[in-house]
Amino acid sequence: MLTTLKNAGCNTVRIRLWKDPQGSTSSLAEVKTFAEKVKAKGLKVWLCVHYSDTWADPGQQTTPKAWQNLSLALLKDSLSAYTRKIASEIQPEYIQIGNEINSGFLWPQGEIKNQSAFLELLQAGCKAVRESSSKSQIILHFAGLTGADWFFNLVGGVDYDLMGLSYYPTWHGKDPIVLETAFKNLAYLRKDIVVAETAYPFTLGWKDFTNNIVVSEDQLARGFAATPEGQAQFLAEIHRIATSTNRGKGFCYWGGEWVAFKGDQATDGSPWENQALYDFTNKALPVLSSFAKK
């Protein structure tokens, strides 16, 4: 997979990190090993730090078990020490302080409604990166487009480098022009912008028996079919939007490796199989050509 991505023009791999997960998935040990493989291929590492033992998103930002019930001061200390450790050991080119932090992170103390505590924790994470990895650029990630202007104004005093946005047509608008508008509307903040997550289906069919996220025509972007060609055209448009301004620095495809697995009858396979960068026989799709488009 890394070889086909590199050959297609991909230059960065985004890797999810959980604090103390059950099992090895997304653990620091697994992430360090994979990050070394990524770097060995000549690719950059984008470390997506969830600051949770499991998935963190706008609907759940559960504080790691080891940090629960700490005072704000001790939580900041723990956050800082952990961030210094991962940044110094992995030395990523990009590091995300929290994942999809529309509603804050490290709940309940870091909920965005507790603005002072949220900003203190966020700044503590950014400061720890600056102290540990001089080459790492810091990304703050907002899922979606609506409210992004308010959010990035709120964090205006935080020391970070790039604004990260998610754009999925099924949730954030059926015409990619809404993404282009968001890029233009955020330009006055004088921060570089990246699309932290996007994806598109190459079919509405399925391989395993796990329910997929995108399953119907009404979830598609206007003018882009759920075909291998339509998927490639969609990502080419995202590439254009994400690099067409001085502040636009590119895009990251989410779940490109999340192919169908565990067999045709599996009910615990991949809900993203029809949005992967590889087809149901694990062959690279035409969409890979969109990474290198100018």
* C-alpha distances out from residue 70 to 53, 67, 81, Å: 16, 6, 14
Among 251, 272, 250, which residue's Cα sits nearest to residue 201?
272
CA distance 68 to 9: 42
Dihedral (CA of 228, 173, 175, 164) sign:
negative
Kindly give the residue spans of alpha helices, DSSP state H, lying in the chain: 2-8, 28-40, 72-90, 115-132, 148-154, 169-172, 177-186, 228-243
The model's pTM is 0.96
Q: What are the phi and psi torsion angles at 54 (to 5°)?
A: -150, -165
Q: Residue 9, exposed/middle/buried by CB under 10 A (0-12, 13-18, 19+)?
A: middle
Question: Hey, what CATH topology would domain 11-199+228-256 get?
Answer: TIM Barrel (3.20.20)
Residues 6+ apart with CB under 8 A from 69: none
pLDDT digits (tens, 9 = 90+) for 178-210: 999 999 999 999 999 999 999 999 999 999 999
* Average pLDDT of span 89-98: 98
Tokens 């001089």, located at residue = 134
pLDDT at 117: 98
Quick check: helix, strand or coil at residue 168?
coil
Among 69, 147, 159, 161, which residue's Cα sits nearest to residue 109?
69
Percent of all residues in the chain with a pLDDT value above 70, rounded to a whole number: 99
Q: Most distant CA pair in the chain: distance in Å?
A: 53
pLDDT digits (tens, 9 = 90+) for 122-158: 999 999 999 999 999 999 999 999 999 999 999 999 9
* Average pLDDT of span 63-78: 98
pLDDT at 293: 67
Per-residue pLDDT band at 265 (split at 50, 70, 90): confident
Instruction: Give the mean pLDDT of the chain.
Output: 96
CA distance 46 to 91: 10
Per-residue pLDDT band at 102 (split at 50, 70, 90): very high
pLDDT digits (tens, 9 = 90+) for 15-56: 999 999 999 999 999 999 999 999 999 999 999 999 999 999
**Cβ 250 vs Cβ 291: under 8 Å:** no
pLDDT at 294: 57
pLDDT digits (tens, 9 = 90+) for 199-247: 999 999 999 999 999 999 999 999 999 999 999 999 999 999 999 888 9
Q: Tell me the angle at which helices 28-40 and 72-90 cross, rounded to the nearest 10 degrees.
A: 30
pLDDT at 292: 87
Percent of all residues in the chain with a pLDDT value above 90, rounded to a whole number: 95
